Structure 1
Amino acid sequence: MNARTEWIVRMAELEIDPARIEAYTALLAEEVETSVAKEPGVLMLHAVSVNGNPERIRILEVYASQQDYEAHLQSPHFLKYKTLTGGMVKSLDLVEVDPIVMCAK
């Protein structure tokens, strides 16, 4: 994937209630898989946890455009995820990043 200037790239940094991590990751997996499958403008969503700290989640998000990002925020599956995980998320920081080189196989 060559980085394009119109892409919207974000890094979400989340802290999840440790007692609810299994429920959270199940909802996250459903939301990520549905978004990539159903939304052409969602180019990539990669979710990982910090090694040894499963409650510290990082999500790399890549959208084709600002319009695609805004459409994603209004999608039924994203709204379901936000509603059901609201009490599980202790903190959320969205970091705006500029793509330099992005490659996938």
Structure 2
Amino acid sequence: MKKSLITPEGLFLILFFSLLNSNIISAQKKDQMVRMSEIEIVPEYLEEYKAILKEESEASVRLEPGVIAIFPMFQKENPNQLRILEIYANKESYQSHLKTPHFLVYKTSTLKMVKSLKLVDMDPLDAEAMPEMFKKYN
């Protein structure tokens, strides 16, 4: 597998600058799709899964204008439990994302690694505040 050159800090900066882009934020406030993916990984696949997910999330934010954020995290005390904050400009952007080559590689190559998956659609409490939230990140 090809090693990604993007660091976690670099991925976060991509997220940060995407959220600061006021044109994207204003265009997607009403129609945006926010989701929290709750994933449990089979322990022996954890490192391989994280590498694949990291590459896929970076590519999604970099290549897809409608993908505002795909921000994976894992629980400190239970690293097999991952959460992914996903923010799309709208449902069409999400549907388009599901058909991209990088997502299809991620999905097919990690099937045996996922013990459980729950997709929870969310409503942001204050979408207009999103750009302000990330201004403090240096």
Q: TM-score, normalised by structure 1?
A: 0.95
CA distance in 1: counterparts of 2:53 and 2:61, whole angstroms: 12
Deviation (angstroms), 1:13: 0.1
Counterpart for residue 53 of structure 1? 78
Q: Which residue of 2 aligns with 1:71?
A: 96
Aligned residues: 105
Picking from 86, 89, 92, the partner of 2:114 is 89
The equivalent of 2:35 in structure 1 is 10
**Paired-residue identity, %:** 48
Report runs of 4+ in structure 1 exceeding 4 Å deviation: none
* C-alpha distance in 2 between matches for 1:25 and 1:64: 25
Larger radius of gyration: 2
CA deviations on 1:7-48 (whole Å, 9 max, x unpaired) are 000000000001110000000000000000000000011110
Name the residue aligned to 2:134. 104
Between the aligned partners of 1:33 and 1:10, the Cα distance in structure 2 is: 17
Cα RMSD of the aligned pairs, angstroms, is 1.3
1:20 aligns with 2:45: yes
> Following TM superposition, by how much is the alpha carbon of 1:50 offset from its aligned partner in structure 2, in angstroms?
1.2
Q: Secondary structure at the match of 2:107?
A: helix
Q: Displacement of 1:4 after TM fit?
A: 1.0
- Partners of 1:97 and 1:86 lie apart in 2 by 24
Q: Provide the C-alpha distance between the structure 2 equivalents of 1:99 and 1:31, rounded to a whole number of angstroms.
A: 24
Distance 2:134 2:70 in 1: 12
| Structure 1 gap ranges (5+) | none
User: Which stretches in structure 2 are left out of the alignment for 5+ residues?
Assistant: 1-18, 20-24
Q: Which has the higher helix share?
A: 2
Indicate the SS of the match to 2:98.
Answer: helix
Bigger relative contact order, structure 1 or 2, given CA contacts below 8 A and separation 6+?
A: 1
Deviation at 1:84, TM superposition (A): 0.3
